[in-house]
Amino acid sequence: MLAEIRSLNEECGVFGIWGHENAAQITYYGLHALQHRGQEGAGIVTTDGRTLKPVKGEGLVNEVFTPEKLAKMGGTGAIGHVRYATAGGSGIENVQPLLFNSTTGGLAISHNGNLVNANHLREHLERQGSIFQTTSDTEVLAHLIKRSGYESFEEKIKNALSLLKGAFACAILTEEAMYIALDPHGLRPFSIGKLGDAWLVASETCAFDIVGAEFVRSVEPGEFIIIDKEGMRAERFAYPNDRSICTMEYVYFSRPDSDIDGINVHSARKRLGKQLAKEIQIDADVVTGVPDSSISAAIGYSEESGIPYELGLIKNRYVGRTFIQPSQDLREQGVKMKLSPVRQVVDGKRVIMVDDSIVRGTTSRRIVTLLKEAGATEVHVVISSPPIKNPCFYGIDTSTSGELIAANNTVEEMREQIGADSLTFLSVEGMVQNIGRTDPGSKCGHCLACFTGEYPTDIYPDTVLPHQKEVSQ
């Protein structure tokens, strides 16, 4: 993903394994497969049945972990996490898994998503005497577990989970067990796999492929899973609500080789591109996609329209993620370093540029400029999703309407701002129908809040964090 210039980021990815002698090493490879879900920090906590051992740091997975560090961790159970900071901000203290020690044993938590009532719960817990060590909403869950009045640890976790509102896919590790939970709406993807006798869990199925594991099933909304020496058993901490899987997982976030509820992401994106070509006909010479997440949709558009697909934009995969951009000129140069037009493909051509979304508009403007500087006579921008007009409170870094170009401009005004010859978005109906979650028996609901403003959960007045308000001003 072009995280630095696209300005749309998923919060994190979660991986866990139980019952494997190389748990730390397997988790490392699993996190590497999930690296696209977070590049700011990574961590692993392992258990050998007696103690929990953490290694975490800021940076990419291969920067945080070395073979020597992994070898020292040991253990047959582990959970891991890759993070992009949304709720709570950046900093090593917020890198997960978060680890807590007490006289009754240790507890580590990896969490994908965002709690809309985190501030409300935090204030309540602080009034009761809790002292927080991080600004991450994940720490709220640990305090709720420890303060629960139930006797058994499993019931403590279930009680704590029942108090959370929003999106959460959690892996919780103790010395003797691993616990898995998904929010009642199933807002985030979460899957269970098997590697020999070992059980695995991951935010995306592509993590199973890289370690040679077999996909077993998806975690159900409201489900609570216990994995220990006795095996795996499933219970519930809440009744499932109407399924509301994040639609942007199919459109942009997930890797093309992942499957979500049995639907391959690449195939879904191709269908979105085909639907775009049905909804809008444009006279052009070539179709190209913005790497990487828009390539599938661009291929679909080409197949349906009959306009040839060409590799008109190349992504440079060797640009450092910490590239310094102290001035506007250097910021523009940074885009050119990350993305380059293929001049012989676009020169003198009418180009259809397929992208998956427009958030703030700055990246689209720069890419359109690159194509025209390379000789494109026309650049028609087609987007394989509807306009993003509303903030997301479930783990994506668009928490204020002021950040969103579509919330404050018409399509024509957006077209003028990005410099395109035309700008077209996919309809909501076309998107939902072509993703393929249309079987009523499969609980096929989508979260469409960023497109329609209809949120599947209540949104608390203090959901937007102070630091997020400052950014949007």
Nearest residue to 247 (alpha-carbon basis) of 180, 185, 171, 304: 185
Q: Which residues pair with 444 in a beta bridge?
A: none
Give the separation between CA 297 and CA 299, rounded to whole angstroms.
5
Give the separation between CA 201 and CA 215, rounded to whole angstroms.
9
What residue type is assigned to position 236 of the chain? R
CB count in 10 Å sphere of residue 412: 10
Nearest residue to 189 (alpha-carbon basis) of 205, 174, 200: 205
| 195-223: b (≥16 Cβ within 10 Å) or e | beebbbbbbbbbbbbbbebebeebbbbbb
DSSP string, 18-47: ES-TTHHHHHHHHHHHTGGG--SEEEEEEE
Backbone angles phi, psi at 201, to 5 degrees: -140, 145
Query: Residue 270 in contact with residue 297, Cβ under 8 Å?
Result: yes
Nearest residue to 212 (alpha-carbon basis) of 16, 26, 34, 67: 26
Nearest residue to 246 (alpha-carbon basis) of 10, 7, 5, 1: 10
Catalytic residues: 12
Give the separation between CA 354 and CA 459, rounded to whole angstroms.
33
